[in-house]
Structure 1
Amino acid sequence: MDNEKLSKHIPSADDGDVIADTAEYNSNEIQRFKVEHRLLISIWQMCFSAPVEEILTSGSAKVLDVECGYGIWLTEVAHEYPKATFIGIDSSKKISYYGTFDYVHFRNGSIAVSTDPKIIPEMVRVLKVGGFIELCEVDAHNVNEGPFMKRIANSDGMIGEKVDEILLKNGKITNIIHLQRYGQLGTWGGEKGTMAVKNFRNNWLALKYQLAEFMKISPEEFDTLVEDCVRETELFRTYFKTHRIYGQKIK
């Protein structure tokens, strides 16, 4: 089953107000997304931080989840707020809406933004005036990271620390709030720390060929570097950092 391509388990538009237009993912990728989602929810204790609770329960809200993966965030929030309409797309898809959505959500899309800077302006474009945009990122740079981990972090296209600056430059988003929370990384952090370091390891390996090429090392050398990073988390008692940045469209 590991190598079998699986369609994402997302309700169709006929079964409910959830529509997803994304690529397919294999079972290893789906499991990685599930673990990361559980980890982030355990840290934040909620699926979003923007003040959209009242909007989602109004009965007419439209929500866009960009870079939705196989739809785990989308389906969970849709289940909690059945009156709202949810649409999920990958960032590679053209967004053919304008001023349509009350809430636009974007998680773990730093690489997509680093390669296509038009993504955030496009999300603002499809947002209604008065609507909220929220971007969520796991930082490439960690607290108490060792020299091996710094090598990988410096090769990542992380934009988490800069998202609020990007939104401000857009000129249409106000009341920008930037929140940060931390999680233990490594078996020294117990069950959650163990889950986190396994997920970080799998995420790094999923990007092995891109990062190895950027770092000008072989894939085998990158494998060794990843295992060195995992060992460092115990030595330095590393924490990872997550960001949530949200704001409201004013014009």
Structure 2
Amino acid sequence: MGCCCSRRFFEEENGTVRYQLINGRRYHNLSSSVYFLANDDEEVYRLSRYHNAIKDIWVGLFHSPVEEKLRQGARVIDIGCGSGIWILDVARQYPNSNFVGIDISPILPTEGLPSNVTFIQYNVLDGLPFEDSSFDLVHQKFMVCAFTEVQWEEKVIPELIRLTRPDGWIEILEADAILISDGTVTRRIAKAFHDFLVSKGINPSIGKEIPRIFENSNMFSEIKHRQKTIKLGKRHGESGEETLRFCISGLSSARGTLSTSMNLMPEHYDALIETMIIETEKCSTDFIQHRICAHKRI
């Protein structure tokens, strides 16, 4: 039997119903957005907590060769910035540069901001309110579940290219949305998640396709693509433990939609997730991430 959700809609000042509460968590309610994860304080915590693990896994906040520009004074935009923690971290290290964080969700920080940081709530699919060639570094992270493959190709990447100055860089950190595992329960959840994403037009492995899309644009003099496999679970150290926690909290955020697509009651879905956590400590489970850096032609 499918899930029976406690659902309530609420409005913004302009009267548009943009968000909905399902079982006490806030989600988008926009026809233009396929994003189905929560956009509340719990999601802010999930994103912020994993920030330090990412720095350890990838050894640093960015890989594009822009450090000297940042020291001297550059303009940087982070699209889909979530909690804003990446922007805040980089901005404090490079006070001569200016940073803009963009996100569709109302989870952006508003207090105690450095003077070189601005946050704006905006949907990149609507086209961002900046002139062409406005930024030296355009950064984006973990947006695989936010856009359909068509939106990536026709709207998102063209917008990133438009915003980037000649001789500037685009850097994208992306993850494959599907875990690879020897575990029976984990494979079941992964298949259900894969089928759900595909039904919404989302490519669960869009990170592998981004270099091709960049290449086809003929706008870049250099494209670098690095892939890393993170093994989940405590036995793989702090990065494995934190990555498992990040993935599990993401699956919990998708509880309403995924339990329905699996034809499960929420409590049965929760039981599967708990079994998956136990299974991960016994079976090999991999989470693949991609880092793409592209240098725009002069």
- Fold shared per TM-score above 0.5: yes
> Which range moved further: 175-184 or 215-224?
215-224
Corresponding residue to 2:77 among 58, 64, 70: 64
Q: Considering only aligned residues, what root-mean-square deviation do their CA atoms show, in Å?
A: 2.5
Q: CA deviation at 1:67?
A: 0.1
Q: Distance in 2 between matches of 1:170 and 1:216?
A: 41
Return the TM-score normalized by structure 2.
0.69
Distance 1:165 1:113, change over 3 A: farther
Question: Residues 65-101 of structure 1: CA distance to partner in whole angstroms, max 9, x if unpaired?
Answer: 0000020000000111111110110262441221111
Q: Is the 8 Å Cα contact of residues 129 and 249 (structure 1) preserved in structure 2? A: yes
> Match of 1:64, as an amino acid?
I
> Match of 1:114, as an amino acid?
T
Tell me what 2:207 maps to: 160
Q: Secondary structure at the match of 1:111?
A: coil
Corresponding residue to 1:52 among 63, 66, 73: 66
Tell me what 1:236 maps to: 283
Map 1:15-26 → 2, pairs under 5 A: 26=40
Q: Secondary structure at the match of 1:112?
A: coil
Corresponding residue to 1:190 among 233, 237, 244: 237
> Match of 1:49, as an amino acid?
H
Map 1:75-90 → 2, pairs under 5 A: 75-90=88-103
Tell me what 1:212 maps to: 259
Q: CA deviation at 1:217?
A: 4.4
Return the TM-score normalized by structure 1.
0.81
Q: Distance in 1 between matches of 2:237 and 2:52?
A: 15
Tell me what 1:37 maps to: 51
Tell me what 2:12 maps to: none
Q: Structure 1: give runs of 5+ residues left out of the alignment.
A: 6-23
Identity of aligned residues (%): 33
Q: Is the 8 Å Cα contact of residues 145 and 177 (structure 2) preserved in structure 1? A: no
Q: Which structure has the greater CA radius of gyration?
A: 2
Q: In the alignment, does 2:115 pair up with 1:101? A: no
Q: CA deviation at 1:184?
A: 2.8
Tell me what 2:119 maps to: none
> Which range moved further: 83-92 or 230-239?
230-239
Q: Secondary structure at the match of 1:83?
A: coil
Distance 1:171 1:224, change over 3 A: farther
> Which range moved further: 133-142 or 70-79?
133-142
> Match of 2:95, as an amino acid?
P
Tell me what 2:227 maps to: 180
> Match of 2:168, as an amino acid?
G
Q: Distance in 2 between matches of 1:165 and 1:228?
A: 38
Q: CA deviation at 1:218?
A: 4.3
Q: Secondary structure at the match of 1:128?
A: strand
Paired residues, what number? 230
Q: Is the 8 Å Cα contact of residues 181 and 187 (structure 2) preserved in structure 1? A: no
Question: After the TM superposition, which segments of 4 or more aligned residues of structure 1 sit over 6 Å from their partners?
Answer: none
Question: Residues 38-67 of structure 1: CA distance to partner in whole angstroms, max 9, x if unpaired?
Answer: 1111111200111111221222x1101000
Q: In the alignment, does 2:236 pair up with 1:203? A: no
Corresponding residue to 1:141 among 178, 198, 211: 178
Q: In the alignment, does 2:153 pair up with 1:125? A: no
Q: Is the 8 Å Cα contact of residues 141 and 150 (structure 1) preserved in structure 2? A: no
Question: Residues 87-136 of structure 1: CA distance to partner in whole angstroms, max 9, x if unpaired?
Answer: 11026244122111111000011112327331111111111111100110
> Match of 1:207, as an amino acid?
A
> Match of 2:69, as an amino acid?
I
> Match of 2:50, as an amino acid?
E
> Match of 1:109, as an amino acid?
M
